Amino acid sequence: MKLSAQQPSQALDLAYRRQKTNRATLTAFEAARQALLPELDAAKDEADMVQPIIRFLRAAGLPGYYLNSHGKRDLVMRTGPDAADPFGVLFELKHRKNPGEMVRPDNLNRKALHELLLYYFQERTSEQQLPELRQLIITTGYEWFIFDAHEFHRVFWKYTELRQWFQKYKQGQTTSGDTSFFYQHARELLDKLETEVRFTYFTLDPRDDAGQRRGLGERGLLWLSKVFSPPHLLKEPFAQDANTLNRAFYEELLYLMGLEEIKDKGRKLIQRCAPERRQRGSLLENTLTQLRAEDMLRNLPPEELSTYGDTPPQQAEGIALALCLTWVSRLLFLKLLEGQLRRYHQPGNAQPFRFLDPQQLKEYDLLNRLFYRILNRPTPEREQPEADLYPHVPYLNSSLFEPSALERITLRISGLDDMIPLPLLGSRATGKTHRSVLRQDATGAAPTALTYLLRFLDAYDFASEGAEEVQDDERPLISAAVLGLIFEKINGYRDGSFYTPGFITMYMCRHTLRRAVVRHFNERYGWATETLDELHEQLADAGPKRRPEFSQAYNELRVLDPAVGSGHFLVSALNELLAIKSELGLLLDEEGKRLRYRLAVARDELVVTADEDASLFEYRAHYDEATRTRRVGPEHTRLQSALFREKRHLIEHCLYGVDLNPNSVRICRLRLWIELLKHAYYTPASHYQELETLPNLELNIRSGNSLISRYPLGADLTAVFRNKDFSLAAYRRAVGEFFSARGREQKQVLEDFLQRLKDQFRTDIQRHDPLLKKITRAKEDLLRAELDQKPDLFGKARLTAEDAWAKQTTARLNLEKLEQERQQREQGALFRDAFEWRFEFPEVLNPDGSFRGFDAVLGNPPYLTGTALKMYETYFRENYKTAQYQLDLYVLFIEQAINLLFDGGSLSMIIPNSWLKNSSMNKLRMFIDDKLEIDSIAPNISQVFKEASVDTLIISGFKKGKQFIESSINKIQIISIDESAQHIRHEVSQTRFRENENYLFDVESDERINVVLNKMRNNGRPLDFYCDISFGFRAYDAYAGQAAETISNKEYHSDFAKDKTFVPYIHSKHIGSFYHNWNGQTFISYGNWLAAPREEKYYQGKRIVMREIIGNTFVATLLQEDLKVDRTLYIAKPKEFIHLTAEYILGIVSSNILTKYFRYANNEFDALFPKIRLKEFRNLPIPAATAEQQAPIVALVEQVLAAKAAAPTADTQALEQQIDTLVARLYGLTPEEQALLSA
């Protein structure tokens, strides 16, 4: 074995390392350590060590977990407080009197490891299987060796010879069953092992040169207190995890805003507080009061007003919320800035850098002045007295603190009423059970709303990123990532928001962008690298002189999220692009020298560590209040400025986002500014007095409808770009200048130029517009019709007055129709938010002005269908090949995303998985197969969006170019993904999707499974060969001519027989596997008046009835009584003169074998209500059988039916397993094939 011992700091999750530890935690850990050591000194053997170590672990930070010995296992820690909870940590204890058995950092191949391996293998092959095992530990109590469970799996479980040796030992196939015999052979096998083993090693008992005990030091205590904590030992979430919402902060912020979260039909929505819980002082109520008092809604044009809602109250709420979101976003940004400034100046006096002071900002007007007289202006342009009040507040960018268009025509924050009190959350007046973080007596005088808001923000720590240090206060952490999650949720407002978890965005960005980078360099330089490692070698071989060239080439990658929302994917993409650039050695300073630092993404956040010692980088500045000067170390400036510059360039030129919701767009820009803010630095040019400014982001994060455009991607703009005033170079130059424009005047000049340029684009495109050509011809037709009525030189008209009038009328009506169509396109509601991909982003145009496309498109498009799309239906059906049956927005986004890629570009989308097999989505499957070289599919990511009742998948691939050559060798990786890991389950060929009916994407079955499925098909005939198949009756249907009242009152249903027409019926709730249980209370008035009655034969004699919704197996039974069956059940009535009995067919249909066949054949692995459709039911393959072959199955089925009739809960598992065995034989399956199918 190759050994790789890690220090505690190296073993800890990078994001967890950055989380501050409070002083009380360190004190408790040191006390636990001090108590442990003398108890270990007194221990005589391993048995004496158990309780001291348990006490130590509980006191050190693991009090809520079951800890005890387990059989021969020295010690186990379970994942919860109960003895029945799964194993989380396995311990092997060794007393120090047995040094020969104890592992050492330079020699793991000792008895302690052999014993732990035996326990591990025994548990892995038991019923328990260690599904939640996190760590394995070997310890003397003084020395600790910690192995991650994934490492044990990778190194030892996958070591085939070792596992085979264990299986022989376990099954008694070795010459001795003694454990020492197992250990001896294990030692020999481990001696041959070449794999590297990573583990964490440390001691709790450090000694000085004289052998005397010494302390761990504060840094050592910091690291070890985190090692012995749930986030590390048991891999539980921690406060700074970007996937974890701070519920207390979120709910109190909603309260301050005047909002609340409710549940509606399974979705969590945010809405204005119910009337009985509204507070006049909340931001929303205060804003609504001012809007109504001054009738400000009149200031908005009708077409803009309609975007905020359908009714005046909805419009008022929508406008008020938009304003509140703007103000709260600014405040949260400023709180992060304040926290960052204070952190930059630690350990010195950070108090001067606090500017959101409740004592100073007592009125909304003062906050307004901070926005527009300080943050909106460069420092030299600030006026008194505000300039002296905020000497340390830097100028960053005017865009965020310019009055928005909505503020200009309605209300600024200064217009709010200052003196309205707002009771603390949790007081009687609020009607809320949650208590405010301020924890003051809610019965006292309520503070004003602004004071409450600022004190609330002060109660949280916004300055805790990037620091390995002790936190001396107990304020909860609010990181930029947590704020991003909150932005996403609040931004959802009425529609409900589904925040994509960080582990998903991390995986998608890592998987997609690494491939995109490799292809980007291959295309540019003609290389043939296939992996990032190969690309790194290719770049290194070119030598250091070409690094600046390669770094610039890297920055020409273009990444898009066409439904950007609050920007989570773009933030993840930014971090991943920086990490990749670091790995490739292309992260350079201003002089082109490589930075000796490593950038990595941990828990969806960027972490910077030094190459030399893996220490976390922390930018620091020292400010001298007396001289008003600031000093920053040269290396700090070099690294921080390089990181800022790289981030800025990627944000400006590589990342693009579009969203229909303007609030989303503003928040996305804010989130990207926050990412830049993390690496803001004091510029040497300003003598370290000013921070580097943030760029304007209005041009690459845009508001618009990604699916609607007036002009196609292939529209010709050649003529425009020939004009030197409007050349592509001028366009790109203007965009570049806009990003760094300072002040409103410079921005306005550039905006005016860009608008003239786009107007020119539209004018030129319209010259070739087919619609305008039709209008021209229609005008000519009208003119000819008018001329035809006039007499010629000889006084004779070509047409009579009547014929001329008819011709003119036809021509005029045609022209009016075409003009109306043009007006609708240019000014109508359909195109109001149209986004013109053809020319809005000059960075994705070729040098000749043609549309090139993006290198990567990724995201989580909206899942929307039904009436919400009615206005767009005609447009979508005319412009999208995948528009089919009931429109679904995510389907159109997939098509648009592929269209927007350049040939060879990378796609990654998380979408519902229903399209894989839904018969009404075959157009999407055909389009994807035609246009996309699929790289991977993660087909079943259950409940990623916990509030959404939908199972999702991730599809990734490359757009097929003109030179694409298909090969059956190209395989799609089918991937499993969860929060902790991803692994490849199997591979499938993309070509095989064309071989099945309706282009189903049967991704769940690999080639071995396909062999089994084909064998079952070949050894059976469709069920409808042997049986007549039908649904049960359908009682009501408006399309059958039934009155609405009849349907709503369910007039044909009753719980008793009202007259002779009422007969008993059963539905799915009455059916279980091998039994039915009619409750005597369901009757139907049966006759031709029902919407869809069935033939009487389906209700008589022996027949099989089965639920549409399936369980572990099909839920079916045998029915003989004269009972009607409703639409929730299928009926299979054996045909006359067939030789198969109903009991035999039931045995086949109810078998686990046939259920697994169905799941694999139809890709039906939904966690939510998996179902079989009628067509699929008809096609189930039923093997032929002689009477002798049927007899044992029939006998077993009859036994199960009898047992279930007596007691539906009877345990018939053994009988059903015998049926499965017999069924497998009839299909000709080997035991191995049966096991493969059932795995």
DSSP per-residue codes, 654-678: TEEEEES-HHHHHHHHHHHHHHHHT
Phi, psi of 600 (to 5 degrees): -140, 155
Instruction: Say which DSSP state 384 is in.
Output: T
Contacts 24+ apart (CB under 8 A), 775-780: 775/815, 775/818, 775/819, 775/822, 778/811, 778/814, 778/815, 778/818, 779/815
Residue 650 contacts residue 555 (beta carbons within 8 Å): yes
Average pLDDT, the chain: 89
Per-residue three-class SS string for 495-523: HCCCCCCHHHHHHHHHHHHHHHHHHHHHH
Cis previous bond, 347, omega within 30: yes
Task: Tell me which residues of the chain have a pLDDT lower than 50.
Answer: 496
Q: What is the pLDDT of residue 580?
A: 98
Q: What is the pLDDT of residue 1106?
A: 96
Surface-to-core class of residue 42, CB atoms within 10 Å of its CB (0-12 exposed, 13-18 middle, 19+ buried): exposed
Q: What is the pLDDT of residue 747?
A: 77
Q: What is the pLDDT of residue 245?
A: 78
Torsion angle, alpha carbons of 347, 351, 357, 359, to 10: 140
Q: Rounded CA gap, 1143 and 1134, in Å?
A: 10
Phi, psi of 770 (to 5 degrees): -55, -35
Q: Rounded CA gap, 956 and 978, in Å?
A: 17
Q: What is the pLDDT of residue 466?
A: 53
Q: What is the pLDDT of residue 709?
A: 92
Structure tokens at 103: 């592992």
Q: What is the pLDDT of residue 317?
A: 93
Q: What is the pLDDT of residue 211?
A: 86
**Can you give the pTM of this predicted structure?**
0.84
Q: How many helices (H) and strands (E) does the chain have?
A: 42, 36
Q: What is the pLDDT of residue 831?
A: 80
Q: Rounded CA gap, 486 and 504, in Å?
A: 17
**Strand pairing partners for 1028?**
1133
Q: Rounded CA gap, 1069 and 1079, in Å?
A: 10
Q: Rounded CA gap, 279 and 1187, in Å?
A: 79
Q: What is the pLDDT of residue 731?
A: 85
List the Cα angle 713/715/717 in 5-degree steps. Answer: 120
Q: What is the pLDDT of residue 492?
A: 62
